[in-house]
Amino acid sequence: MKMNRYHLFLIPFLSFLLGWSLLSWGKPETFTEVEKLAQKIEDRTTGWIGLQADLTLHFLTSQTFRASCRGEMLYHRLDEKILLNCFNDEEKLLFSFKSEDTNFSLYVPAEDLVYQGTIFDLEDSPDIESHLKPRDLYRGLKLAFIPRDKSELVYQNGNMTILNVQGDYRGTPYLSRRLLINQTADVLEETYYDFEGNPTLDIRRSDFRSIEIPESGFDRKVVFPFRIELECLKKNHGEIEKTILYFEKITFRPWIEETAWNLTGSEKTQTKD
């Protein structure tokens, strides 16, 4: 068959396209530094549903020690559900605290009362003096998702990385979170900001340990901090409140029976909304 000039041009052009497509097909997908770091963090911290723990809680105000108790905690990370019973040195129940999403119940045996409301009522109500802030506990126990398209590396060396996460307030972007991350992708410190740029919550994590996930079907472990410090800045009067959680034993559970979430208290206990 006789080839014309068009054929002579087409053959090398098709060869180029074929070679380029084969190279592109075999080339692995590239990821940004933010994407790789976020994925590494999630690989180390996710994969579990329920948590059961024995711990000690310390409550401080402006660096002054106020109280401590021994706690027994259940936490469901998907439903944002917590049950926390705290006891004194004589194993007497001091309070039983339950929260689910935006609702809470707080049983105080000394007052024979169960306080109920939303977690926002708990933060702002003058009737309840409580260090326990469900939103702070949620954020401390479960690292929030890191959006790849709204995160930026602002500092990085061989040992430490600072990652900023952008929020949105009525269409205006602002710094909502700042994460301090070590070389093994443990989030050592996480600070939350309001849309005006004021820090509202500082979370410090340490004593990271590897814990197996039962019934996962394969060798799966999660890295979890056995010390979590929550420092909340109260806007009204500039006072700092700290809650420090020292975990003694943590067990991940694939499910938690519904009866385990019953709030401790007597049937005759009065309820106050």
Write the pLDDT tens digit of every residue in 165-177. 999 999 999 999 9
Helix (H, G, I), strand (E, B) or coil at 110: coil
User: How far is the first Cα of the chain from the last one, in angstroms, to the nearest whole number?
Assistant: 92
Distance CA 145, CA 38 (A): 9
Residues in Cβ contact with 46 at an 8 Å cutoff, skipping those fewer than 6 apart: 222
User: pTM (2 decimals)?
Assistant: 0.83
Residue 64: the pLDDT is: 74
**Single-letter amino acid, residue 125:** S
Angle CA 113–115–120, to nearest 5: 165
Digit-coded pLDDT (tens) for 217-249: 556 789 999 999 999 876 555 678 899 999 999
CA distances from 70 to 54, 105, 158 (A): 8, 19, 39
Q: What is the dihedral of CA 70, 76, 82, 83, to 10 degrees?
A: -60
pLDDT at res. 116: 86
Q: What is the pLDDT of residue 113?
A: 87
Neighbour-count burial for 171-206, b at 16+ CB within 10 Å, e otherwise: eeeebbbbbbbeeebbbebbbbbbeeeeebbbbbbe
Supply the pLDDT for residue 146. 96
**Rounded distance between C-alpha atoms, residue 145 and residue 166, angstroms:** 12
CATH class of 37-264: mainly beta
Q: pLDDT value at position 206?
A: 98
For 111, phi then psi, to 5°, come to -100, -10
**Alpha-carbon gap, residue 50 to 133, rounded angstroms:** 20
Count, residues in the chain? 273
Residue ranges of E strands in 109-264:
113-118, 151-156, 160-169, 172-182, 187-193, 199-212, 221-233, 240-253
Grouped pLDDT means (10 residues each) for the chain, 273 residues: 46 43 42 92 92 95 81 94 95 93 89 85 60 86 94 93 96 96 97 94 97 72 96 71 95 90 69 64
Phi, psi of 243 (to 5 degrees): -125, 125
Confidence (pLDDT) at 14: 42
What is the DSSP secondary structure assignment for residue 197, as one 8-state letter? S
Contacts for 26 with CB less than 8 Å, ≥ 6 apart: none
Give phi and psi for 267, each to the nearest 5.
Answer: -70, -20
